[in-house]
């Protein structure tokens, strides 16, 4: 179960290393921003939010830090259509419900015990490494 309480995360609580990736000051700040405000920000959103605390961090560095964390499995990169990539620290298998009226993106999980592969007609012999799904709609 993923907690809904996204309380502030002091820098001190983020370790020096996660999954073999050295968590530099820049990466710690970026990661903290993702943890604190889980609204699936884009790289540019992160860049804007971090400006006050790290004024001379470049957008390119935000991109490379995010990419490094994605490659090390610390965060996930989420793409909607052709829009800019968004980033999220929820590592549980989940998809996204995109509310088209508010623009808010909600994490969505499978009901307990259910896996997408179980309900699909897959090609014979298919080995699934990774699943992504997106729903679009609205909350009544």
- List interacting residues with DNA (CB under 7 A): 16, 21-22, 24-27, 42-44, 54, 56-61, 63-65, 67-68, 82-85
Please state, in angstroms and rounded to a whole number, the distance separating the CA atoms of residues 81 and 135: 11
List CB contacts of 44: < 8 A, sequence separation 6 or more: 59, 84
Taking CB under 8 A as the rule, which mask of x and - marks residues 92-131 in contact with a copy of itself? ---x-x--x-----x-xxxx--x-xx-xxxxxxxxxxxxx
Assess contact for 60 and 46: CB atoms under 8 A: no
**Does the protein bind a copy of itself through residue 13 (CB under 8 A)?**
no
- Output the smallest distance, CB 27 to a copy of itself, in A: 21
Name which of a copy of itself, DNA, none residue 67 binds, using a CB cut-off of 5 to 8 Å depending on partner kind: DNA
Q: Fill in the DSSP letter of residue 74.
A: S
Name which of DNA, a copy of itself, none residue 68 binds, using a CB cut-off of 5 to 8 Å depending on partner kind: DNA
Largest CA distance in the chain: 53
Considering beta carbons, is residue 5 or 139 the nearer one to a copy of itself? 139
- Output the smallest distance, CB 61 to DNA, in A: 3
Query: How many alpha carbons lie under 13 Å from residue 131 in its C-beta half-sphere?
Result: 19
Name which of a copy of itself, DNA, none residue 57 binds, using a CB cut-off of 5 to 8 Å depending on partner kind: DNA
Closest CA to 101 of 47, 140, 57, 56: 140
């Amino acid at each position: 179960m993923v907690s809904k309480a996204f309380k502030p995360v002091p820098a001190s609580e983020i370790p020096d290393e996660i999954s073999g990736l050295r968590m530099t000051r820049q990466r710690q700040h970026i990661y903290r921003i993702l943890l604190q405000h889980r609204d699936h920000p884009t790289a540019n959103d992160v860049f804007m939010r971090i400006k006050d605390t790290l004024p001379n961090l470049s957008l390119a560095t935000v991109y490379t830090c995010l990419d490094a964390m994605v490659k090390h499995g610390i965060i996930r990169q989420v793409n909607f259509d052709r829009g800019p990539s968004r980033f999220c620290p929820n590592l549980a298998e989940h998809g996204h419900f995109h509310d088209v009226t508010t623009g808010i993106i909600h994490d969505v999980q499978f009901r307990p015990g259910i896996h997408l592969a179980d309900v699909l007609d897959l090609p014979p012999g298919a080995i699934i490494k990774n699943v992504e799904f997106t729903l679009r709609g609205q909350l009544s």
